Amino acid sequence: MASDVSNISIIGTGHTRFGRLAENLEDLITAAAREALAEADLPAEAIDAVFVGHFNAGLVRDGFAASLVHQTDPGLRFKPATRLENACASGSAAIHAAIQSILSGRAQNVLVVGAEKMTARSTPEVTEALACAGYQNDPAEAALSFPGVFAQAAQAYAGRYRDPLGAMAQIASKNHQNAMLNPLAQMRRPLTVEDCATVTDKNPLIAPPLRLTDCSLVSDGAAALVLTSTQNAGKREKAARFLAAVQINDFLPMSRRDFLLFEGPRMAIHKAYEEAGITQDDLSFAEVHDCFTIAELLTYEAMGLAPAGQGETALSSGRVMRGGQTPVNLSGGLKAKGHPVGATGVSMHVLAYRQLTGQAGEMQLERADLGLIFNMGGAAVANYASVLAPM
C-alpha cells in the first residue's frame, strides 16, 4: 500500500467487552458499529461502504455476516457491505479494504467491523475450526492444531537458541497485569511469572511445552471503527491518522519456510517503519499478535527490539513493560484481552486510536505519539503492520 495511506484517518471507534458472552454474532456486530458511529458523530446515512472482518470456519451458522451489519441502523440500508477473511488477520484485511475504498475515490466515510462468536462451540470444535487456517494439502501439517504448530516453534527455539519457557511465562504474566487496567478484557486476573511457569492442574500442558497460560483465549466480541480522509478528519478534535499500512503474505506450507525467522512479520513491520519514516526507537507502544506467548517473543525480534534468539532481553531490560521504552500489549493482548478472531485486528487499531487520542482510561500512557499494530493470520502467513499517529 502506497505512502498516501497518510490521507486516511480514524474518527470513531466501538468495542464490546471480550469474553464468553450471551450476545449472538448480530448483537456483537451492531453494538460495536453503533458505538463507532456515535463516537464519529456521523449518521449511518453518511457511511458510503462497510467492510466486515469475520473468520467463522463453522464457528457459527451465520455465513453472511456482512449483511448483518445493516441491522445496526436503517440508514445503512442499501449501503454496500463486504466480508473479508484472512484467518486471524481478517479484521486488518477489512481495514485495508476500507483504506483502498477511500483512496480510490469510491467512498468518503467507511465503517469497518470485526467480529467473532466462538464460545457457542466446545474447545475441541474451536481448535478444529481454527486449524482450517493451516495447510490442508500436506497430511502432516493438516494434522497439526495451532497449539501444536507453536509448540514446535518453542521446541525449535530451544534447539537453535535457548529455552524460551521462562521468557514466555514473563510475557503471559505481563499481559495479564496489563489487562487489569482494561475493562474490556476477558481475563482481568493477575498471574505471577511463577504461576505461568509452573505446570499445575490449573495450568496444564496443552501441547508440550506450551502451558495453558501460553495460549490465547477462546472469545466472543466485536470492534469497529470509522475511517475518512485526513482532510475531513482535520476538522475534528479526536482523530488519528495512518502513517503506514502494510500487508505481507508468505507461503502457507510451513515446510517452505524457516518459521523462527518470522520473515513475513519482519518484512511487514520494517516496511511499515520505512513508510512512516521511523525506527523502532520512535514507537510509544505496540499492540502485537500474541496468539501464543512464543509468537510475542518472536515478534520482539521481528520488530528489532532484540537480535534473533535474544528476545528475552526486551523483557529483562523492561523495554516492553508498562513504563518501558516500548510497552507491548498494554491492552492485555490476545493472551488476556481475548482473541475473537475476526475482531482482533480491528480491536488493536481501536485501542491504539484511543491511546493516541487520550481516551485509553487507566491504560493511558503519559505520552503516546506513535503506535505500531501487528496482526497475523495463520502461522505468520498473512501479516499486517500499521503505524498510527494523532492528528
Q: What is the mean pLDDT of residues 141-154?
A: 95
Please classify residue 95 by burial: count the beta carbons closer than 10 Å to its beta carbon, then call 0-12 exposed, 13-18 middle and 19+ buried.
Answer: buried
Q: What DSSP line would sit under 183-223, residue for residue?
A: TT-S------HHHHHS--SSS-EEETTEEGGGBPPP-BEEE
Terminal Cα distance for the chain, rounded? 20
Integer CA distances (angstroms), 324 to 23, 38, 154, 289, 317, in order: 37, 34, 26, 19, 8
Lowest mean pLDDT among 59-63, 178-182, 202-206: 59-63
Q: How confident is the model at residue 356 (pLDDT cuts 50, 70, 90)?
A: very high
Tell me the pairing of strands 8-15 and 221-229: antiparallel
pLDDT at 234: 84
Kindly state the cell numbers that stand for 371. 503506535
Render pLDDT for 204-252 as a digit per residue (tens, 0 to 9).
999 999 999 999 999 999 999 999 999 999 888 899 999 999 999 999 9
pLDDT at 70: 98
- Is the per-residue pLDDT at 178 higher than 60? yes
Q: What is the 3-state secondary structure (H, E, C) of 265-323?
A: HHHHHHHHHHHHCCCHHHCCEEEECCCEHHHHHHHHHHHCCCCCCCCHHHHHCCCCCCC
Q: What is the mean pLDDT of residues 54-71?
A: 94
Q: Which amino acids are annotated catalytic?
A: 88, 339
pLDDT at 313: 98
Q: Which domains does the chain have, with CATH numbers?
A: 3-121+219-233 (3.40.47.10)
Q: CA–CA separation, 92 vs 345, rounded Å?
A: 5
Looking at every residue in the chain, the average pLDDT score rounds to: 96
Kindly state the cell numbers that stand for 112. 469497518
Q: CA–CA separation, 231 vs 109, rounded Å?
A: 12
- Is the per-residue pLDDT at 3 higher than 60? no
- Is the per-residue pLDDT at 377 higher than 90? yes
pLDDT at 320: 98
Q: How confident is the model at residue 6 (pLDDT cuts 50, 70, 90)?
A: very high
Please name every residue paired with 220 in a beta bridge, in sequence order, or none if there are none.
19
pLDDT at 235: 81
Render pLDDT for 297-322 as a digit per residue (tens, 0 to 9).
999 999 999 999 999 999 999 999 99
Render pLDDT for 259-295 as a digit per residue (tens, 0 to 9).
999 999 999 999 999 999 999 999 999 999 999 999 9
Q: CA–CA separation, 336 vs 178, rounded Å?
A: 8
Q: How confident is the model at residue 14 (pLDDT cuts 50, 70, 90)?
A: very high
Q: How confident is the model at residue 57 (pLDDT cuts 50, 70, 90)?
A: confident
Q: How confident is the model at residue 335 (pLDDT cuts 50, 70, 90)?
A: very high
Q: What percent of the chain has pLDDT over 70?
A: 99
Q: What DSSP state is assigned to residue 16?
A: P
- Is the per-residue pLDDT at 2 higher than 70? no
- Is the per-residue pLDDT at 185 higher than 80? yes
